[in-house]
Structure 1
Amino acid sequence: MTSTTDRTHDATALPPVAYDRLPALTAALAARAPDHDRDASFPAEGVALVHEAGLLTATAAGRHGGPGAGLADTVRILRALGAGDPAVALVTAMTLFVHAAEARTPAWPAAAYTDLLAESAVGPALVNALRVEPELGSPIRGGLPATTARRDGDHWLLTGRKIYSTGAVGLSRMLVFARTEPPGDEPVRVGSFIVRAGSPGLAVEPTWDHVGLRASRSDDVVLDSVPVPADDVIGLAEPGDTPGARPDPVTGAWNALGLTALYLGIAGAARDWLIGFLHERVPTALGAPLATLPRFQSAVGEIETALFGADTLVDTLAARVDAGDPEAAEQAGAAKVLGTRAAITAVDQALSLTGNHGLTHANPLQRHHRDVLCGRVHTPQDDSVLAATGRAALARRSPATAPVPSVPKGN
């Protein structure tokens, strides 16, 4: 297999990151988001705007001519995009995570990654890892994928079905998690096979019909003997040794904190709409805006305080992960639990304050509520985080490590 080290890329090819364009980009995405939500249509023009601002390749390594953005900058990007259109933010997040992982631990075949960067220089090149299957669920909970890769000369032939494939219709590359079908007594190996859009035998079935993040088009991807060049595989190894089946702590932290920032962006947009509504709404009996009532002021204060705490936690841990703090990486899962709960609660409270107005399709709050609920389903999920955190806490005070209490002597 081609070496993945010591490779370079033209430093002038990838667009620079325009962080100063984030507020305008958030507004532009927000203007289109209602239409894409209503039609469940993929927001291709929004993705193009993200590319033009240099954000799709922000995490590409400097050795490849990329900006080399860390997790703290990625959190900033995803919070802003999430406030505008979370579907655009989600497909951006998946692509940023792929480039960031390659920057930290090179694993792509050199030619395949060079091709991806060249495509990224001229237009949006979205990438996502397709791992979830109807029977398997997510491989992070264990088990082998049903999707198979059979060697045929200088290619692999992939066959199977992936579900919840975010952005499937807009992806340039699909990293398909599959197991090999070796001849004879050779061991089964698993890895991520680089499938290019438009490959023979590749089809996207429009099965996505969720309440939230409708524009993400997380449809089924069906593979029927899809050819993949023999070298276009990442992390091919025996099941127990496969990189990425269960992500390392830093990779897990990028996923947990990046996605939490996205959902906090949604909650921030909901808060902003609520504040505008409370200033504009003037009931006849009151003769003044709702924003003047202490009850609403306290409620907004509660929302603001919760989001401030969650945003600060995410930002702080992201900066510590960038600084190489292993404890921060281990704490990212707990931050996701706290952050997504804060985001969901904030939007729910906003709905309680606005009543029918918040649930009206003409207003965005109902969409924010549907979208923010999706924060619960991303890995790591709450039950996994809480179980792991509980085990760690109990282990710290196990009978073998706990101090033996002194017993006072009797008279």
Structure 2
Amino acid sequence: MTATVGTDARVDLVVPDLVVPDLSPEALADVTARIAATAAEYDRTGAVPVEGLRVAHEAGLLTATVGTQFGGPGIGPIDTARILIALGEGDASVALLAANTLITHQGQAVAEHWPAHYYADLLHRGTQGPALANAIRAEPELGAPARGGLPATTLTRRDDGWSLSGRKSYATGGTALAYHVVWAVVDDQTADAKHPQVGHVIVPADLPGISWIETWDHLGLRASNTHDVVYDDVRLPLDAFVEIPRGADGVYRDPAAAASLGSFGHPALYIGVARAARTAFVDYTRNRVPAALGRPIATTERIQTVAGEIDAQIAQAETLLFGTLLRAETGDQSHLPQLSLLKVQIARSVIAATQTAVSALGNPGLTRTLPLERHLRDALCVRVHPPQEDVALVAAGRRVLDQ
């Protein structure tokens, strides 16, 4: 069975059915184990985690959210979360690259805003190997767009298309990306300077004028290749630009300034990291037999209490994640104003779980011969995903006080 992609007159492509992933606990556990086998080495080198991505691709996990109208499995948010937990438990960098790609496909399934020929190309690449996509938004001067402001990256009309120029920071995926979704402002001298067009432009990663600056030297997610990218007169067709509409009051508001259900893939992957930390803690304490004790430290009440605390934090994070998604699936929307707060609480639980595991073990928890220090470094990165904690708390406080 096949599916024709798009209605654009320039496109006459038929995309083969993508792999329908096996989402059984056993299959996901196998993927986790295979990805985990190479995670430490990629963390040390900072190279693109090609082996982990290959495993995820062959299991059909990188295209699991492709809409059924495009020949994809079209899985929903709950199964997407399960996938990302499994990938995060194996390698957080692989999971982040997968999360950004799954979110891209998820958005296209809901609103077909990509040019048809570009999306058909992305899907065809996805049948051959890992085909990654990501929203490229932050900038060196502006910082995170969720905190306000407009991008310095510009789109300028040229003949029958656009010219894209600017520099972006924290472009996760680096040279492994197949497509960039670039946040930009239209440079139109005839338009209202106070209300320029703002939106995203779909950019094939292999176009002339794209260059990379290797700036990523980070505490965690070291294999995520989150470098800076420069666009220098990159030529694009007119339909590559998708404007973000302003509100009824004429004010532009960045869509990442508040959490959405589609953004819960990011906290899901970090729950996987916390699970990996729990496993590493259990393995170490079962095998550590101090001479003075004569038995594994896992048999002591002190370690058993710590293990219980780790498990409690993970249970809390999982319950918040899946409870949020299940309520939405049943049509309950009463918790939607609290989505940003729920992400904050999941992040707090993830960090608490990993920190508890590391701190209880002393030096072994921080040595690089064991995986716990890597899990802690990766878990701390949960805080950087928008909306960040202070923004979420301020918005929630204002909402409560205004009610």
Q: TM-score, normalised by structure 1?
A: 0.90
Aligned to 2:306: 299
Equivalent of 1:209, from 207, 217, 228?
Answer: 217
Report how far residue 323 of structure 1 moved.
3.5
Q: Deviations over 1:116-136 (max 9, x none)?
A: 222222221110000100111
Answering whether residue 287 of structure 2 is matched by residue 287 of structure 1, we say: no
SS in 1 for 2:302: helix
Q: What is the one-letter code of the residue matched to 1:126?
A: L
Residues 1:347 and 1:262: Cα distance change in structure 2 (over 3 Å): same
Instruction: Give 1:392 deviation, angstroms.
Output: 1.8
Question: Is structure 2 residue 105 aligned with structure 1 residue 99?
Answer: yes
Gaps of 5+ in 2: 1-5
2:131 aligned with 1:119, yes or no?
no
C-alpha deviation, 1:326, in angstroms: 2.3
User: Is residue 321 of structure 1 aligned with residue 325 of structure 2?
Assistant: no
Structure 1: gaps (5+ residues): 397-411
Is 1:252 matched up with 2:256? no
CA contact (8 A) 1:71 1:319 kept: no
User: 1:2-401 alignment to 2 at 5 Å?
Assistant: 12-20=16-24, 21-185=27-191, 188-235=196-243, 245-247=254-256, 252-255=260-263, 257-396=264-403
TM-superposed deviation, 1:295: 1.1
Separation (CA, whole Å) in 1 of partners of 2:39 and 2:359: 23
CA distance in 2: counterparts of 1:386 and 1:183, whole angstroms: 38
Give yes or no for contact 2:131–2:178 (8 Å, CA) kept in 1: yes
Letter matched to residue 203 of structure 1: S
Name the counterpart of 2:3: none
Q: One-letter code of the match for 2:269?
A: L
RMSD: 2.3
Cα deviation, residue 387, structure 1: 1.0
* Aligned-partner Cα distance in 2 for 1:323–1:12: 32
Amino acid in structure 2 at the alignment position of 1:252: S
Structure 2 CA distance for aligned equivalents of residues 147 and 164 of structure 1: 14
Alpha-carbon shift at residue 300 of structure 1 (Å): 0.8
More deviation, 185-194/371-380: 185-194
SS at match of 2:232: strand
- Mapped to 2, the partners of 1:153 and 1:8 lie a distance apart of 25
Q: How far apart are residue 10 of structure 1 and its match?
A: 5.2
Superposition misfits of 4+ residues, deviation over 4 angstroms:
7-12, 236-244
Percent sequence identity is 43
Q: How far off is 1:324 after superposition?
A: 3.7
Contact kept, 8 Å, 2:256 with 2:386, in 1: the verdict is no
Report if the CA contact (8 A) 1:236-1:242 is conserved: no
Aligned pair count reads 391
In structure 2, the CA distance between the partners of 1:11 and 1:198, relative to structure 1 (3 Å rule), is closer
